[in-house]
Structures are given as structure tokens and as C-alpha cells.
Amino acid sequence: MSELVKSIAEVRNIRWQNPAQTWGLVPTMGALHAGHLELVRRALAENDRVAVSIFVNPLQFNQASDLEKYPRQIEHDIELLQPLGTHLIWTPHVEEMYPPHFQTTVNVEKISQPLEGAARPNHFRGVTTVVAKLFNVIQPTRAYFGQKDAQQVKVIQQMVADLSFNLSIVVCPTVREPDGLAMSSRNQRLNPAERQAATVLYQALQAAQNQWQNGLRNSKLLHETMRKIISAAPLARIDYISLADPLTLAELEGELKQALVSMAVYIGEIRLIDNLTLE
Ligand code: AMP
């Protein structure tokens, strides 16, 4: 049976019952899907104990309506996690995570700024602050993140290096639906027509990858390919399409040697992201 806990004190108590055990942490915002469960399975394979945190972190939402509409289904999440053998499920109280007069945040400077950082001001400050807190409370041996959120991985790796956190970050591949759509808790909010249109992100990424495999290296032409495919989808609106340096996330122009291709696209009201690396 998984232990279900809310308070920081309870988490610490369980974490340190046997200090010799290794712990994996999978931070999530709940509404779990097969992508999350892959992270949990990997953590279970690599650690003696696994904790999954479920916390819809208000600090990382820049729109109140997005926070309010974010899917919450804790009972179902627990039903998914228990049979896997998850040892600890932590659902923090927002009041304990952010007590009155809370005033300390963690901000990773440069790599937080482009892409999602530009589109969602203060988003990454919210992410790094909550992840730093989760790391401090659980002190995991390893923490598991999805490549689906490529910039988030880079920002967290930078934070871990800069602040000397004593843990390893494990990055897991993006899990997709059979039609290629990257799994996301936000997909639940798509109506049937939008769900169909949402495959356009992966189609665009694949078209770029096909061209790359055929030897095309020109960033303008790769951009154009993706833009055309997405613009043709009736319910899709491009927020950004980027070809960036995989290390610095600086936008690339001209002939490319490698690139992180990433995009954010509105399907109706729902903003979806996806990425892949060309190398
Ligand atoms: P979230 O609950 O959306 O904050 O995601 C929690 C973790 O699961 C993050 O590290 C995400 O990158 C990861 N994740 C979300 N969707 C996927 C997916 N489709 N494949 C792999 N990892 C994912």
C-alpha cells in the first residue's frame, strides 16, 4: 500500500525511516496519464523507494483561469499509482507550501527567459521554487522529469548544478498517444474536434524531422514547413515555433548542425507544447 501524506513533517518522517534506502521523486501536478506513469516505473526500477508528489502549484501559473481549470482528480491518480507499488504519495497543502509572508523564490536567470519563459512570465520561477522545496523536503537520490517539457528539464538541471543539490536528474522520453499527440493533462480539456486537430503539433515536428533526415539544414525552410502545416489546421493558432541551440536555447538561424525544435500551439483555448531534437 502507498502511504498517503500531506504534511512536510510526515514526508520527512517516512523518508528517513531507513536512511540507507535510495529514493526516487516524481514531481507532478496530478491528472496522471501514461507519461507520468512511465516516470514512476523508471523511478521504481532505479530506487528502493519512490515518492510521487501531486501539487497544482499556483506559483507557476500566470493566468488565474488556467490554474482554476487545471484538471484535478486525486482519487483516480491514487488508483493509478498504488498498483505500480509507489511507496509515498504526497499531496502538499498549499498553505504549508506557501505560508503567509512567503517571500523567497528561486530563479534561474538566462535559460528561463526564452520560449516558455517569454510566453509565460514568471512560470519558471514558480517551477524552480516549488521543485527546490520538493527537493529540500524529500532529499531524493534521483528526481524524474519528462523530455516533453524540454526547457523545464534544462532549467532544473541548471538549478541543481548552481545550488549544489545532492541528487541526479533523470530525463525520460516523451510518451505519446497512438496518433503522436504528446500525452498531457491538458489534453482532457480538448473537445473531439480539438483533439483531432491537436495531432498537428506532432505532424509538424515529424515533417521537420523528415526534411532533416533528407539533408535539409536551413532554419528558415524548416520553420516554413512547420508553420504551413500548423496554419492549415482549422482550430490551431501558433504561439511560437523555435529552432534553438539545445544547450543554451538561443534561437538559431541559417544552416543548422543540431537544434531543439519546440513549439507552443493553441488548439481552441488550450495551449499545447511539444518538441524534438534534430541532430
Ligand atoms: P506535469 O504534471 O504536467 O507537471 O508533469 C509532471 C512530469 O511529467 C514532468 O516532468 C513532465 O515533463 C512529465 N510528463 C508530462 N507529460 C509527459 C509525457 N507525455 N511524456 C513524458 N513525460 C511527461
242, 223 contact by CB (below 8 A): no
143, 46 contact by CB (below 8 A): no
Strand order in the sheet with 49-54: 3-5, 88-90, 49-54, 23-28, 142-146, 168-172
Tell me phi and psi for residue 271, to 5 degrees.
Answer: -95, 120
Distance 51 CA to ligand 1 centre (A): 15
CA distances from 28 to 34, 74, 164, 267 (A): 12, 12, 22, 23
Which long-range contacts link 214-217 to residues 24+ away (Cβ below 8 Å)? Answer: 217/255, 217/256, 217/257
Distance 101 CA to ligand 1 centre (A): 30
148, 277 contact by CB (below 8 A): no
Residue nearest ligand 1's atom 10 by CA: 145
pLDDT at position 34 is 98
pLDDT at position 114 is 98
Q: Is the CB of 29 under 6 A from ligand 1?
A: yes
Provide the whole-model pTM: 0.98
CA distances from 221 to 211, 218, 243 (A): 9, 6, 11
The best mutation among 33, 70, 149, 272 to test binding of ligand 1, ranked by most ligand atoms within 8 Å of the C-beta, falls on: 149
Residue nearest ligand 1's atom 18 by CA: 35
Classify 158 as helix, strand or coil: helix
Q: Is the CB of 172 under 6 A from ligand 1?
A: yes
Q: Is the CB of 182 under 6 A from ligand 1?
A: yes
Helix axes 219-231, 200-213, angle to 10 degrees: 150
The best mutation among 25, 32, 39 to test binding of ligand 1, ranked by most ligand atoms within 8 Å of the C-beta, falls on: 39
What number does the ligand 1 atom closest to the CA of 31 have?
Answer: 2
Q: Is the CB of 146 under 6 A from ligand 1?
A: yes
What number does the ligand 1 atom closest to the CA of 182 have?
Answer: 19
Q: What is the DSSP letter of 218?
A: B
End-to-end Cα separation, the chain, in angstroms: 44
Q: Is the CB of 39 under 6 A from ligand 1?
A: yes
Residue nearest ligand 1's atom 5 by CA: 28
Number of H helices, E strands in the chain: 11, 9
- Please give the positions annotated as active site: 36
What number does the ligand 1 atom closest to the CA of 185 have?
Answer: 3
pLDDT at position 1 is 87
88, 5 contact by CB (below 8 A): yes
Distance 29 CA to ligand 1 centre (A): 9
Distance 48 CA to ligand 1 centre (A): 22
pLDDT (tens digit, 0 to 9) for every residue of the chain, 279 residues total? 899 999 999 999 999 999 999 999 999 999 999 999 999 999 999 999 999 999 999 999 999 999 999 999 999 999 999 999 999 999 999 999 999 999 999 999 999 999 999 999 999 999 999 999 999 999 999 999 999 999 999 999 999 999 999 999 999 999 999 999 999 999 999 999 999 999 999 999 999 999 999 999 999 999 999 999 999 999 999 999 999 999 999 999 999 999 999 999 999 999 999 999 999
Distance 196 CA to ligand 1 centre (A): 21
Q: Among 267, 276, 120, which Cα is nearest to 210's? A: 276
